[in-house]
Amino acid sequence: MHPAPANERLAARYEALIRLAEVIRSHPEEGALFQTLVSELHDVVELDGFCQFDAAANWVQWHFDGPYKSGLEVRRLEPVPKEETLAWWVYQSQQPIVVRLSSPDNRFPRMRDWLAKLGLQSSCTLPLSTAHRQLGSISFVSHLEEAYSAEEQRFLSLVANQIALAMDDGRAQQRLRLLLDLTNRVALPESGHEQAGVTRSASGNFHEHSPDYALRLRRSGSPRSGNGRSAPVRHGFF
């Protein structure tokens, strides 16, 4: 079979980007978005999973496909100090980076060892940023050494931009809903004690969704259980 002409490959790639953009827009809740993306992206680019560094929550969440789906290997590995991680470096520098274990590059030695122990050979890490906010970074990983060519990097950069825009928009809408809820509750003609209780409740909900709440919650050591469903693997690089 002859390879498809370059213009056909380019057209197919951007059709895939349009589909991915629709998937991203249809999942305003971040947890559902990233769980869906791992299967959607697998049909478009070479990857065995990806990890999202959430700067507000100060943690990394892994999402796997195929043989890595359970994430058990990640739980067994020792945490890497944040200053030595690809996720942190990209978030701080706002520059993408591709790491291949076969290359002589000696940067990020602990991360390279970490990838090798998982049987992964390459990674492509990109910033998750908009014009207004730096939200974190995202690392795509593969067991193939040459998984992320320059063309793949450009495509994944466009995907990362779409993800960042969706995250920023979703968080802004969530903050707006909470503020409106707080305003409506305070405006109700209630007695002093009831109104104070409602204000505290609404204010607490607002702070739970503020950018620094997850960080304070993680430091306090008292995470919430959520809705009881299984969550993606959260690995504390920090």
CATH code: domain 6-168 is 3.30.450.40
Write out the two tokens for 182.
């707080």
E strand or H helix at 90, and its extent?
A: helix 86-93
pLDDT at 109 over 60: yes
Tens digit of each residue's pLDDT (9 = 90 or more) over 225-234: 444 333 455 5
pTM across the whole model: 0.70
How many angstroms separate the Cα of 175 from the Cα of each of 144, 150, 169, 208, 210?
A: 41, 37, 10, 10, 7
Taking alpha carbons only, the member of 66, 56, 62, 100 closest to residue 79 is 62
Strands (E), the chain: 49-54, 59-64, 97-100, 122-129, 134-142, 233-235
* pLDDT at residue number 128: 95
Tens digit of each residue's pLDDT (9 = 90 or more) over 194-211: 555 544 555 455 444 454
Residues near 35 by beta carbon (within 8 Å), at least 6 away in sequence = 63, 232
* pLDDT at residue number 148: 92
* pLDDT at residue number 90: 96
Where, residue-wise, is CATH 3.30.450.40 in the chain?
Answer: 6-168
Range scoring the smallest mean pLDDT among 38-42, 87-91, 200-204: 200-204
Cα–Cα distance, 70 to 196 (Å, whole number): 45
Select the highest-mean-pLDDT range: 6-10, 56-60, 86-90, 115-119.
Answer: 86-90
Burial of 52 (0-12, 13-18, 19+ CB in 10 A): buried
